[in-house]
Structure 1
């Protein structure tokens, strides 16, 4: 009986961790953006059978050589938003569409490689399990 409980707990935790996945659609990896200018960020939420309530979304900008994988760097937007269903996206995923202004004087200067970072906080399932996804994509911040 202990084995069944342990196996059930492991399976449940694996489902909880993999039930939600968030990724950047745009910008593309290594896309050039201009300091002080606005560009669009599209973030896809992979469909899940469980209910998902997005609580908050935070985007940051950090030096590309920063080894800390969970550090968001300089916060450029923090918001609580609800995802929208977008028929134009493959598999008709829920997406966040945001217009982001690149800092005119990023923390490490311009004409440098950065990582656009994201943390999404959400609740999952009937018991509203609180979870977070963190991801990043490389971009290049050019001078204007």
Structure 2
């Protein structure tokens, strides 16, 4: 077997009752670039770029902990989509103005990120997270993703 990974892409497929509203929200408001779009008599699909993809697996206790930190109570279902952004407060306000329901305003987490929670088109719960880093920290947080400095802590 070669050293190449077996999986080449993670693609989250969202079935949205209001396709046009979901497309407007994620492409035009959140700013996810359109990679491809297809339509036929059987329906429509648009593939949007969302940066690097990871699959974060958590047990129910940790999911409860994350909800408690970000929202103050358990609110998420078994799937929540998290986007790393440069300015979680500004993007939260922008998405709210476009129709997303703010579940929790940006909150500083114990792992030093600024996270907000929204209910968005396509029946998705979103976390927007901004890595705050340490004072004087240079550059990217690397593969720490949503977890920041303490990888096991959560998003």
TM-score range, shorter chain: under 0.3
Structure with a larger share of its residues in strand: 1
- TM-score, normalization by structure 2: 0.23
Bigger Rg, which one: 1
Structure with a larger share of its residues in helix: 2
